[in-house]
Structures are given as C-alpha cells and as structure tokens.
Amino acid sequence: MTIQWYPGHMVRAKRQVEDRLKLIDVVIELLDARIPFSSRNPDIDDILKDQKRVIVLNKIDLADPEQTKSWKRYFANIAPTVAVNSLTGQGVSQILKLARDLMDKEFVALKAKGRNERNIRMMIVGIPNVGKSQLINQLSNKSSAKTGNRPGVTRGQQWVKLKKGFELLDTPGILWPKFEDQQVGFRLALAGAIKETIFDSELLAYKLVELLSEVAPEKLEERFKLDYLNPDTYELVADIGRKRGCLQSGGRIDRDRTSDIIIKEFRDGKFGNLTLELPPQG
C-alpha cells in the first residue's frame, strides 16, 4: 500500500510559514506522542533554521508513558520539550513557561535599554490532526480555534490572543511532498493525519493488526476477546469480524466494517496506551 498526500493548500501553507517567521519569536512544534518520528516534518529544521522553538508531544493520554519519557529525553537535545494532553490541558502551562525562558536574554537586553517587554509572538506548526486547534483553545482558555477530528480543518492563518504577554499564530497542518519510508505514511494514516480517501482502509487495518500482533498481542486479544491470535493476518481480521458480529448474508465477513472498527478503536485509544515508535539509540 503506497500512501502520498500533499494537496495544494499545504504548498501555500508552507510558503506562508516561511514568510511569517520573521514576525515570530518562538515556534511551537507539535508532534503526536504515539508516533513522534513519523509526525515530525523532515523539512521542519530547514524551514525553521535557528528559530527558537518548543517541541510539544501531544496526545500523551493515548501513548505509552515510559516511551513518552524516552522521547522527551531524546528531543531535549534539540529543543526544550514538554508532553501534553490538549484535551484536558495537562502540561499545557509549561509551554508558555518554556517560551518565556527562551526569551529571557532578549528581555534582559530590552530592560537594560530602558524599554518595556513586548508580547511574545509564537507560531504553532505540525501535521494535520495532531491537535493544534485543541491546544490553542487550552492556551487561550476559550474555544477560539476550529477543531475537528479530520485533517485539514485549519485552512488559513489566524492570530490568537493568549494570556497577557503572549500572542499565537495558528497555521494549517503541513505534510511533506513525499514519504520516503512508506511505514511513515502508514503511521500517519493510522493517526488520522491523511485524508481517508487517499488510502485503502482494509489494507490499513491489516497492517495495524499485523503491527499490534507484534508489539501488543495481549491488548489485541483482550480488546476483541480472542482465544488466540491467528498468524494469518487475513484470517485474524476475519476472527475479529466474527467477534464483533460484522457478518453479511451467508455468514461472510464484512471486512470493510471490521476494518473501520479496528482503525477507529485504535484512534480512540481503546487498545490502551500505545507508542508505535522508539527513539533512536546512541
């Protein structure tokens, strides 16, 4: 299964981000804690260059807590890093603190010149459906940004007033032109970062079941009340379909419906806390 998705509005969005960087003090780089590597745009370092940034691992309620700690240590070598749940607000206050810390030297210099501190201007960047709008709403304590559990909800840029001393520029989710590793495309599709019409849901479900059989077999068995995991993925999906009553006339398995259930339950965290990637070693 080959997955690629780079619609025209993302080309414009990338250009807008580059154009607006001169107005920005601190960039918030938002990642999905379940797939920190795959959700990180490989072009981001070239785009941001030496820009001050805070790396934020979102959706920690769905990720493995120990792996989140490991990823925090890994990213701390790149930039200040915090783990958050943008739905509940857990950890969100740390973002503004880290942004303020990054601006300390500049504000000390302003004070030495007898000038007052100004608002810290921030920009939030990340892939589609990583929770940017939810995070903005937490930072601003209001429902100021559109939210939606589908990629592409934010289509333009907008300034949002936060607490005193901070402003934030929202940007649309940005992918990159080509996934060199199709495993990255697969994980992005699982996380909901890619439009559903771009990939085959049934094949995606097979790949997910195959992966879960390797990394979390006990959770797969428990969730679907399976007595054992059939080593044949095609038959294993059929077993799941039978357990969930996804049957057509003649007792045939409704594989489309079964696939939709498997993918949705993964996205909703029904398998428990799972991180699909480990940080590089060394």
Dihedral, 230, 236, 240, 245 alpha carbons, nearest 10: -110
- pLDDT computed for residue 10 by the predictor: 54
58 is in an annotated binding site: yes
CB neighbour list of residue 228: distance below 8 Å, 6 or more residues apart: 221
> Over pLDDT 90: what percentage of the chain?
55
**Residue ranges of the chain assigned to CATH 1.10.1580.10:** 200-267
Strand order in 166-170's β-sheet? 81-83, 52-58, 26-32, 120-126, 166-170, 158-161
- Residue 253 CB coordination number (10 Å): 19
Phi and psi for 68 in degrees, rounded to 5?
-60, -40
For residues 143 and 135, the answer to whether their CB atoms sit within 8 Å is: no
Type of residue found at 161? K
- pLDDT computed for residue 7 by the predictor: 47
Q: Give the mean model confidence (pLDDT) for residues 7-25.
A: 72
Tell whether the model's pLDDT for residue 148 goes beyond 90.
no
For residues 146 and 188, the answer to whether their CB atoms sit within 8 Å is: no
pLDDT band per the 50, 70, 90 thresholds, residue 29: very high
For residues 17 and 125, the answer to whether their CB atoms sit within 8 Å is: yes
Both tokens of residue 5? 């998705």
For residues 149 and 192, the answer to whether their CB atoms sit within 8 Å is: yes
The dihedral through the CA atoms of 14, 31, 59, 7 has a sign that is positive
- Residue 105 CB coordination number (10 Å): 9
Closest of 225, 233, 245 to residue 209, by C-alpha: 233
- pLDDT computed for residue 265 by the predictor: 95
The Cα 222–Cα 199 span in angstroms is: 28
146 is in an annotated binding site: no
Greater confidence, 43 or 266?
A: 266
60 is in an annotated binding site: yes
List, for residues 89-138, the tens digit of each pLDDT value. Answer: 999 999 999 999 999 988 888 778 778 778 899 998 888 888 988 999 99
Greater confidence, 43 or 73?
A: 73
Tell whether the model's pLDDT for residue 179 goes beyond 80.
no
List, for residues 253-274, the tens digit of each pLDDT value. Answer: 999 999 999 999 999 999 999 9
Burial of 219 (0-12, 13-18, 19+ CB in 10 A): middle
Q: Which CATH architecture has domain 200-267?
A: Orthogonal Bundle (1.10)
Greater confidence, 118 or 196?
A: 118
129 is in an annotated binding site: no
173 is in an annotated binding site: yes
**Residue ranges of the chain assigned to CATH 3.40.50.300:** 8-170
CATH topology classification for 8-170: Rossmann fold (3.40.50)
Tell whether the model's pLDDT for residue 152 goes beyond 60.
no
Greater confidence, 106 or 175?
A: 106
Q: Give the mean model confidence (pLDDT) for residues 50-79.
A: 96
